[in-house]
Amino acid sequence: MNFADFYKNSIENPQAFWDNEAKLIDWKEPYKQVLDYSKPPFTKWFVGGKTNLCHNAVDRWADKQGDKPALIAISTETDSEKVYSFKELQSEVMRTAAMMQSLGVGKGDRVLIYMPMIAEAAFAMLACARIGAVHSVVFGGFASNSLATRIDDAKPKLIVSADAGSRGGKAVPYKPLLDEAINLAEHKPAHVLLVNRGLVPMDLVAGRDVDYATLREQNLKAEVPVEWLESNEMSYILYTSGTTGKPKGVQRDVGGYAVALAASMKYIFCGNPGETYFSTSDIGWVVGHSYIVYGPLIAGMATIMYEGLPIRPDAGIWWSIVEKYKVTRMFSAPTAVRVLKKQPPEFMKKYDLSSLKALYLAGEPLDEPTSQWISSELGVPIIDNYWQTETGWPIMSVARGVENTPTRLGSPGVPMYGYNVKILNESTGEECGANEKGVVVIGGPLPPGCMQTVFGDDERFVKTYWSNFKQPMYSTFDWGIRDNEGYYFILGRTDDVINVAGHRLGTREIEESISSHPNVSEVAVVGVEDKLKGQVAVAFAILKNAEPASTPDGRKALEAEVMAVVDKQLGAVARPARVHFVSLLPKTRSGKLLRRSIQAICEGRDPGDLTTIEDPTSLQQIKTALTV
């Protein structure tokens, strides 16, 4: 079947389509109804069916290929490496499950996981799935205030954490941040289970804190059966920042998520049992949930969990892992590729990368220069994909497991099966034609694996995502266009739109244009308030060679050059009012640009909550650049 027919079938006959895909996982009890969409926009998939994520990720493979690698935990921070077979992973998960049960955790209880990228974090997630507890992973190193808001929202019975993470060889203490968060939070967890890595001294709070190693020793021979869950019961909560200060708890189900991941591993990521998958993300983000922990294991693949930087001990570290473990599928972010692009090319050349079949990139738009560079270096398909925390798996990509669809530079691809994607005019709500810019939306019902609701707040779910147009449509809050052949291009957030003298311009468009200047390696564009035009575009660019901008005259000349590029490609209306040159841009630890913070600094406002910022000195660079 070609992909067009495959996709059409998924949209026109969702019940039959997903009934067939549900065969990719094990069910303890068959479902009575494939889809219940009687209360839109709320969707229930595989109603009445009983299954379990941990069983599908671990137990069924422990029976079929128990001695094959399942979890490969590598830390270049602590110089450690350990391979767990499926049987060994099953044993560790059962021990952790027994530990949780001994601390009073049962079906439906929330467990907050605040951990570095270590094997115990995966054990904890899978143990929750095993016993029917609901995990909520918070990115390790989040500041106390942010952590406290999540504790108060999720109300966990147990928190699992560690003494510290490590980054660039420096310990990042977690325990003091966690203690302060619990102090700030109104909800107090009954217990905190702590992995002591020996990175920093750690004092345990009597009666609350429990040492992981000691409790593990007491549960070495534990055998904990799987708790079979109805398909629509909750599997986890993952918080994503909202336009308001309160984070949104994306709530996910069990059965729909398992089926969606199994299908995505087959059709999009083309993974096979016994192969190795390497995602360079973190379990604190949705990519870590779907494509470090659950997806690859559900597909019977070994999955690599990596703690460390892409350039430490040197820029060849990822490629040495690809060679050693014969990685077939790799998933990373364009930011990481841009970091590697700056390194000497010999680090990539010295390793045998012949096992690698494709590199998948997501998390932010993939620019053409980055895509072309990594494609020529690796000699494998570079497959972009576009999705969100809310959807759990790709909205757009190319499904090479169905048909060998070509990719298109600058485009994340075409809508994936199950996603009824449209582009609507923001003002009229009418569907846009080819090459007309509008808001990317998805018609209901959302396919399996997408969020069920905002945890504890159905009204917020409807109001935030489904109330932006007259007809109920899930809004991605992203601008996009579709070309004549059906490929989509994402043009930035609708809340990152610049309105210059009545012209609406996506930051993405201007950034793409500036990036094409031969001396620009990275750029951020924001809209800054202007009394005359409403807003003007202001750009902050990192140069490949900073020498030309080392003098006032040089900066002026280079700024004019960059503006001329934008003039030529987009027209004078898109020309930035200023182009400032910096050596660092403010980003989160996951690599996303903090455009709102840059904008706030430009407008003399408070840059807001910066708990996720990678390097605070980048903000000072923005401030300094504005005075030059």
Cα gap 495→598, rounded to integer Å: 14
At 37-53, the pLDDT tens digits run 999 999 999 999 999 99
Residue 570, C-beta contacts closer than 8 angstroms, at least 6 positions apart: 505, 509, 510, 513
pLDDT of 363 over the 80 cut:
no
Least confident segment among 143-152, 418-427, 609-618: 609-618
Query: Helix, strand, coil % (nearest 5) of the chain?
Result: 35, 25, 40
Domain 3-308+385-477 belongs to what topology? Answer: Rossmann fold (3.40.50)
Mean pLDDT of 189-205: 97
- Per-residue pLDDT averaged across 166-171, rounded? 92
pTM metric for this prediction: 0.85
Question: In the predicted model, what is the mean pLDDT of residues 573-588?
Answer: 90
Please, which pLDDT band fits residue 410 given cuts at 50, 70 and 90? confident
Q: Locate the domains of the chain by residue range.
A: 3-308+385-477, 501-627
Burial class (CB in 10 A: 0-12, 13-18, 19+), 289: buried
- Is residue 243 pLDDT above 50, yes or no? no
Mean pLDDT of all residues in 579-587: 93
pLDDT, mean over the chain? 92
Which helix (H) or strand (E) segment is 184 a member of?
A: helix 175-184
| Long-range interactions of 567-574: CB distance < 8 A, separation 24+ | 569/513, 569/516, 570/505, 570/509, 570/510, 570/513, 573/500, 573/501, 573/503, 573/505, 574/500, 574/503, 574/505, 574/509, 574/510, 574/513, 574/537
Integer CA distances (angstroms), 566 to 32, 347, 434, 509, in order: 57, 34, 23, 10
Once rounded to an integer, what is the mean pLDDT over residues 55-68?
98
pLDDT of 409 > 70? The answer is yes
- The CATH number assigned to the domain with range 501-627 reads 3.30.300.30
Same fold, 3-308+385-477 and 501-627: no
b/e per residue 312-349 (b: at least 16 CB within 10 A): eeebbbbbbbbbbbebbbbbbbbbbbbbbbeeeeebbe
Rounded Cα distance between 75 and 78, Å, is 6
